Structure formats: structure tokens, C-alpha cells
Chain A
Amino acid sequence: MDAEKNILEVQDLTINFHTYAGTVQAIRNVNFHLKKGETLAIVGESGSGKTVTTKTIMGLLANNAEVAKGTVKFHGKDILEMSEKELQAIRGRDIAEIFQDPMTSLDPTMRIGRQIAEPLMVHKGFSKSKAEKQALEMLKLVGITNAEERVNDYPHQFSGGMRQRIVIAIALVCYPEILIADEPTTALDVTIQAQILDLMKELQEKISTSIIFITHDLGVVASMADRVAVMYAGKIVEYGTVDEIFYNPQHPYTWGLLNSMPTLDTAKGQLEPIPGTPPDLLEPPVGDAFAARNPYAMKIDEEQEPPFFKVSDTHYAATWLLHPDAPAVEPPAEVVRRQKIYQERLSAGTINQGHIHSKGNTAFAGADDDDAIGE
């Protein structure tokens, strides 16, 4: 790992929320990093701590949140140590965010041109007219037709997809180094989703920003991400390149996620949900948090938390199944099918540019590490 290239490094992050019911351990020892220009997807179901992670990076945690441990280093400087003033200088300029629901994230009483111009006025000291001129350019860039006329419209005069384009314009207007996209397409129609994702990819290349993409939708991940981190119950349970996570998953939770995702290839008529619900983070279970829902759980899963086992230089998974002493198990048929594709493509040497990818995957460590993959 090249430390210089990591613009963001999250280490041992542990966040608790103090509520009336008790202390919720929302984030437990989370580690990840983000390189320049790459897209990192954080995947997990509701309540797994994805959004809390992004709020921490933005310095926008709720008042009842307490950072118990860890650091969030942006260019080597710990965001958690910064004053509100320093944070304000970073927010919107270096780190920007796209929210989930475009219907509610725009100020209903302010013209959209002004809303896009605001970050420029705050961070670059632009005059109102200069900022609004640039806002107009941004509006064109995100594909709003008739931008000259529409720049003076109010949010309610736009459709959901258009509004999300405006939200993206606001986030990118200062050319941030990091763009956090928290479920940016969840509230949109499926047809619009693809447009927004394409737009994000296009703009990412144009202004070379890194993206942290938060989602519960694995289908979206495949087309967007370079690397994927799978979160469960406030912890990252597996991370690797998008190919590794999709075609060589190791953690039973990742298996469950892939198994419950519809694909064109699957012959099954029915999707298989993961049984049960996530654990109560007021009192997280002692061992592997997923053990209770895991059909492959062993005795040790209930007693001791699994450490990360290395699958490749870029691929790690926290499951006891990877321990040398663990018995071999047969993953779900869908996962077996994927792993077969992985082996085929591995020998064909095409694993870097998977067919699901529209552009090159830069984050994959390279062919040298291939021997380390699999068991």
C-alpha cells in the first residue's frame, strides 16, 4: 500500500451513539483507505454503519455520537481533531457529498443557480455573479438542457432525476478530491439510475475525483466501483477489488448478498434472501456478528471474533472459514458459479477488465498476486 497515494485513511474507527436505550456501537474498528481517482464502494444492509462512516468523514456526526477510537486522515491530517472552522473549509471544497433523496435535499425556496453557486462563494470568495456564471457551466456539465433558462428555476420545477443532477452539480462545483455518494440512486427510477451513474463516472474522469460510493445495491456496485468493502453490523467483513468481491467472495455474508441479488445469468426463479435480521448493536454479539444468520457458522464463530485473513494483496475477509484448520464448505450454487467464472478468467488473464466493467480497473494489484488467490 502506497501511503502517499492514499488521500483518505480511516484507522480503527469506533463510534458509539449514546441513546436513551443505551450505547449503540454503530462503527466497530473500521479500517479502509481511498486512493486518488478510485471508486470505493461500501456495501451493506440498512443499519450496518455505512452512513455513519460517511458522516464521520464529513465531520457531520450527530451530537450524541462519540468517536471512541481511531483516526480519519485526510492528506495525513486527522479530520476528527479538526475544529469546526477547519471542517467548514474542507466540506464542500475538498470533500463533498451527494445525498440519497434529491426530492428533499435542495432548498425549496432558493433558485438552483444560487444553490450551486454557494460553495464557490464560500470557498473561493467568488462574487455572486461570477459564482453564478460558473454554476451555469456546471449545470450544463451535468446535462440540464436549456441551462441558461433553468438556472433561475426553483427545485420543484425539476423532476427527481434532474434534481439529482443538480445535487451532483452542487457537490462537484468546487472540484472536490473526494466525493461521497450516499445511496445517490436509491430514490430514483431504475431508468434514471443508470443515467445518474453514467454521469457520475463521466464527471469523475473529467475532474478526477475519488468517490466513496455507499449503497446496498450490489448491482450498482458492479458498474461503478474499483474496490468494494462489505460492511456488516458496524464492521467491514470483507474487502477487495470489484472482481474479487463479485467472483471470488469468501465471507458467508458476501455470499448471502450475492445470492440474494438478481442477475441475468441465474436460472433460479426466486431470489434467496438472507434469513434473520442484523444484530442489535446495543449489545453486539461476542464472536462473528453474522454467526446467528450464517448457515456455515462454526462453534468458534460464537466465541471469538475472526481476524482478517488475506486472500490476495488486495483482498481480505474476516471469516474463520479461511483459517487453515477450518473444514472446507460448499458455498451457495450462485457463488460456486461465480468462482468458476473467476477461475476461468484468472487463467485467461482477463480478471482486471471484467466484462461487467466499462473501463479499466486500476486498483487491482496485478497478475503477480494471482497465486495467492483461492485455496
Chain B
Amino acid sequence: MVKYLARRIFYLILTMFLIASVTFFLMKLMPGTPLNNQAKLTASQIHTIYQQYGLDKPLWQQYVTYIVNAVQGNFGTSFQFSNQAVSYLIGSRIGPSAIIGAQGMILGVILGICTGSLSAIRKNTWVDGTANIISILGLSIPSFVFAILLQYYFGLKLQLFPVAGWGGFASTILPTIALAASPFATTSRFVRTEMVDVMGSDYIELARAKGLSRFGIVFHHALRNSLIPLVTVIGPLAVGIMTGSMVVENIFSIPGIGEQFVKSILVNDYPTIMGVTLLYSGLLCLVLLITDIVYGIIDPRIRLSGKGE
């Protein structure tokens, strides 16, 4: 297990390095400069600013400097907010993102498990049909449309929740729901398929032959077996939440990382773009690693082969 973990962490670092390198060069290919009013500045002024931020050096030198600093934990200072370190900027904004992201994920997955199992148990009934329609809507409606609809109806018309902004639990509800839509739909469809499969298996038939009640069968045998494979989609779901948060945070004006990321790209704030990209990819790699470990813990068949290594 230790050997396995060490190998996985080595690959994680390698992946992060590759992502950092590719992003660095791609980012430099983007049109525009970090300067706000380039037209008004003289050539020497631009040169001074570039010198100040090290942007006058050859690309490879900038790259080496960045990587060397990043390895030491220094992700540079933001261009748009003078004298704010990127790590400080991210740190101050990660809270709201983490809260709505986690809430959205948990809400979506739990609701998805309930709906998915329910529609599998009541296969081909109106329950199943309704759940199906809801999941397909959840998958196909883009999150910005859904977020705006929520904002308009529940925020503006019914005035149940704050329209936008950040402050207190109430303000997290609409963004959470908007973020939860996609993981909910994915989980629901996934669990339904798995559970229908499991319910048709021989060991469920055997459980029925044992005289177990419907509830006992679902609870003790079907649920566990259909939820194990769900762990594999948690990774992709986390990606969905991260990308979704960029849009949702913008719509609800939440001072989170997603909102900051979009802004930074628009103004070519190179250090912030790099920092957030590394954060996102690091989180994703971590989620995938945890997923694999958890999968091994909850599925006895995999646990055994892990022991043999």
C-alpha cells in the first residue's frame, strides 16, 4: 500500500508539472497584454512595467523562473491587484467556492442516489419516468441558464433567497442548487442503471429466496453493490463542479475562485491564471487519488489485490 501510494504521488507531481508547463505556454499565446490602457502608454513606460514583472525576458527564462519559484511555494504576485500574492488572493477567495462546491456536490450526489435507486426499484412506472425526465433536464440544461432561472424566480420574483452576493447561509442556497443540478443528474442516471443491473442479478434473487423483505434486499444488498461503482464518477463530477463554479459564481457575484479565474483570464493576469489552474488540477488529481483509495476500501475484491502488491 505504501509503495502504491508513493508511486501515485510521484505521478501526481509529474502530472502537475506537465499541466503547469503546458498552461504556461498556452497562456502566453493568448492575445492581448496584461496592460489596461496600452494605447496611452509610451514604449519606454511599457518596457519599464515589463521589466518590473520580468516580462521582458525570453519566454524560456520566464518559464524556468516561474517553475523554480512555484516549487518553492511562491506563485508570484497578481497583476490586477498590486502587491497581492497569488497564494493570498486564492486563500482569501477559496472559502466561498469551497462552501458552495461542497454543498452542491453533497446535495447533488445524495439526491441523485435517492432518485436513482427509487426509479430503479420502481422501474417502468411513473416514478421512474418522472425521475428520468428530471435527470435528462438536469443534464441538458446548461448551468448558466438554470442559475439565471433560479435567480429570477426564487430570488427576484418570489424573493425567497438573496438574488446575488455573499453573506450567510441563505445566500449559498441558490448557487448550491445551481451547482448541484449536474452531479444530481449524473448520479441519478448512473445509480439507476447500476441498480437495475444489480436488481436483476442472481444474488438479489437469492436474497429474495432467503425471505428478505423488499426493504432488506435494497438496503443490505442492492444499495451497496450499486453505489460502489459510483465512486468512479466522483472525479468527473468534481471537475463539473469546478467548471460549473466559474459560471455560477459569476452569475451570483460570489467572491470565489471561479469568479476570480474568469476575471484574470480577461485581463491576462498571468500569475493568477497559473495559480488557479494549478489549484484546480491539484484538487482534481487529489480527488482521483482519493477515489482510487476509497474504491479499494469499499470494494473487497479490489482490496485483496491491493494487499498482494
Contacts and interface: CB of A to CB of B under 8 A. Distances in A.
A58 B206 CA distance: 11
A92 B209 CA distance: 6
A105 B205 contact: yes
Contacts of B212: 88, 92, 118, 122
Contacts of A170: 206, 210
Contacts of B210: 91-92, 96, 118-119, 122, 170
Contacts of B40: none
A101 interface: yes
Interface string A270-312: 0000000000000000000000000000000000000000000
Contact residues of A: prevailing secondary structure: mixed
A157 interface: yes
Bin chain A's interface residue count: 20 to 34
Nearest to A104: B202
Contacts of B211: 88-93, 119, 122-123
Given A90-B211, A119-B211, A109 B205 contact: no
Which among A91, A109, A118 has the highest number of chain B CB atoms within 10 Å? A109
B291 interface: no
Contact of B203 (A108, A122, A123): A108
A106 interface: yes
B202 to A, nearest CB: 4
Interface in A77-93: 88-93
Given A90-B211, A91-B211, A157-B304, A108 B225 contact: yes
Nearest to A95: B209
Contact of B301 (A58, A122, A154, A167): A154
B85 to A, nearest CB: 48
Given A104-B202, A104-B203, A156-B300, A110 B209 contact: no
Contacts of A106: 203, 206
Contacts of A183: none
B199 to A, nearest CB: 12
A107 B221 contact: yes
Interface string A98-120: 01010011111110000000110
A60 B210 CA distance: 11
Interface string B54-73: 00000000000000000000
Nearest to B213: A88
Interface string B200-228: 01110111111111001000110011001
A238 interface: no
A104 B209 contact: no
Contacts of B301: 108, 154, 156
A334 interface: no
A43 to B, nearest CB: 22
Interface in A147-168: 154, 156-157, 167
B292 interface: no
Contacts of B216: 122
Given A154-B301, A156-B301, A105 B203 contact: yes
A276 B208 CA distance: 37
Choose among B207, B224, B225 the residue with the greatest number of A CB atoms under 10 Å from its CB: B207
A152 B56 CA distance: 67
Given A99-B202, A156-B300, A109 B224 contact: yes
Contact of A109 (B206, B213, B300, B304): B300
B206 A167 contact: yes
Interface string B290-309: 00000000111100100000
A141 B207 CA distance: 21
A109 B223 CA distance: 11
Contacts of A99: 202, 205-206, 209
Contacts of A60: 205, 208-209
A122 B205 CA distance: 16
A24 to B, nearest CB: 19
Interface string B179-208: 000000000000000000000011101111
Interface of A: 58, 60, 88-93, 96-97, 99, 101, 104-110, 118-119, 122-123, 154, 156-157, 167, 170-171
Q: Give 10 nearest A-B pairs by CB, closest first.
A: A92-B211, A91-B211, A92-B210, A104-B202, A105-B202, A154-B300, A107-B203, A97-B209, A119-B210, A105-B206
Interface of B: 201-203, 205-213, 216, 220-221, 224-225, 228, 298-301, 304
6 contacts: A92-B211, A101-B202, A107-B221, A109-B300, A122-B212, A157-B304
